Structure 1
Amino acid sequence: MPVILNFSARSTLPENELEALRYIVRHNQNDVAITTNQRQMAIRYVESVNGFSVTPIHRDSFSRLINRNNHLARNLENQINNGRSFQQVTRDFMFQMSSNIGWQRGHRNALMNAIHSHSFNVNTDEFSCDKQFLECPITLCIPKQGIFVKNTLNSNICTLYDKSAFMNLTREHLPHPLSREKIVKEMIIERNMCYFDTISQHFIIMDADQQKQHCK
């Protein structure tokens, strides 16, 4: 059903009318807004970019009228998109997408670098715990190449993982095996920052004082 608007090239619609128009167009993709002087515009909501496209419907070939219709459509398009044209909305969306992709790629590279740099050859003779505490929660075996990973992002307890098995989790964008959190590089711990606590029966991350003693 068409929408009737009292609108001209210099008009500014109140926000409540704009919001009502947005609602109607979102739910009726092909609605046409008609001004009081019978000029018509097709308004379409494009969900993928969350923007509105306004196109004038020309009923004659007079260039002056065509220009007026174009100006009218641009004015309404800018208002319904909160001051931006549909082209600007699309461009901003694409920029945001590329920024997100760049951030995700940087995050992934940082995580991979942390895994590679903090991995080590596992020698059971170097640990003061039973071999059961060296088993990877994923493979249930003692890894040849391992990494220490926090049980949660804010935990001081860590667990030994098989490097290859843990990298497969990150490649498939799977959550942390224990906490179900998103895996981030801050969870990866250096080998010499962990020790086995015989009381709690866990690998513990050294606190600041322990690190100072360790470095002496």
Structure 2
Amino acid sequence: RISIGSGQYSVHYVQLLDGFSVEPVRGGLLDRLLGREHRMDRRAVALERQLNGGVDFLSSVNNYFQSVMAEHRENKTGNKILMEKINSCVFGTDSNHFSCPESFLTCPITLDTPETGVFMRNSRGAEICSLYDKDALVQLVETGGTHPLSREPITESMIMRKDECHFDAKREAFCCK
């Protein structure tokens, strides 16, 4: 608590917003009769602005929620683009179409051979890619998961079309062309 003039104020630090909230401590009937409440409210807002670099606490709350909503919209847009890329690169994984042992057709998420698959680079700039089960990869993206091997955020540049990858027998891995 702090005192300014004849009024007392309660100051609270809000870590989530990295800012201060200031509330007048109401004195009761005398404050109301003398009209101090409005003056105390104005002083509380002025003190918040001093403590928060020119912004009052309610504006800080509003700015925080606007940034959270903008980030959410951005993530949804990014996920939509990523999902479109995944869906455009899906293919059937009949083992007769691959010139490699069946053990290389194992999805790193399901540890099984997928029915519908999609290739994804093992990391952002990697030449090596792995075959993923489409449904498992979609679920991973929808839940905000990271790349199972590199722990990086999954991006559309990691998703590869079937014709962009080939099995390299010397490296014993799928490689990007």
Normalised TM-score (structure 2): 0.86
Q: Does 1:56 align with 2:27?
A: no
Counterpart of 1:202, as a letter, is A
CA distance in 2, matches of 1:167, 1:185: 12
**How many Å apart are 1:176 and its aligned residue?**
2.0
CA distance in 2, matches of 1:178, 1:114: 20
- Cα deviation code 1:61-81 (max 9, x no counterpart): 223x44433332222111111
* Pairing 1:25-44 to 2, within 5 Å after superposition: 32-35=1-4, 37-44=5-12
Is the contact between residue 51 and residue 90 of structure 1 (CA under 8 Å) also seen in structure 2?
no
**How many Å apart are 1:119 and its aligned residue?**
0.5
Provide structure 2 residue ranges, at least 5 long, that are not aligned to the other structure: none
Structure number with the bigger relative contact order (C-alpha 8 A, sep ≥ 6) is 2
CA distance in 1, matches of 2:108, 2:16: 40
Runs of 4+ in 1 over 6 A off after TM superposition: none
- Cα deviation code 1:160-184 (max 9, x no counterpart): 1121222232233333222222222
Q: Number of aligned residue pairs: give it.
A: 173
Match of 2:41 in 1: 70
Q: CA RMSD in A?
A: 2.0
CA distance in 1, matches of 2:133, 2:37: 68
CA distance in 2, matches of 1:47, 1:139: 40
Q: Does 1:183 align with 2:154?
A: yes
* Pairing 1:140-151 to 2, within 5 Å after superposition: 140-151=111-122
Cα distance change, pair 91–144 in 1 and its aligned pair in 2 (3 A): same
CA distance in 2, matches of 1:191, 1:44: 57
Identity %: 33
> Bigger radius of gyration, 1 or 2?
1
**How many Å apart are 1:84 and its aligned residue?**
0.5
* Pairing 1:48-127 to 2, within 5 Å after superposition: 48-59=16-27, 60=31, 61-63=33-35, 65-127=36-98
Provide structure 1 residue ranges, at least 5 long, that are not aligned to the other structure: 1-31, 207-216
**How many Å apart are 1:58 and its aligned residue?**
4.6
**How many Å apart are 1:92 and its aligned residue?**
0.4
Helix, strand or coil: the match of 2:81?
helix
Is the contact between residue 195 and residue 204 of structure 1 (CA under 8 Å) also seen in structure 2?
yes
CA distance in 2, matches of 1:55, 1:169: 45
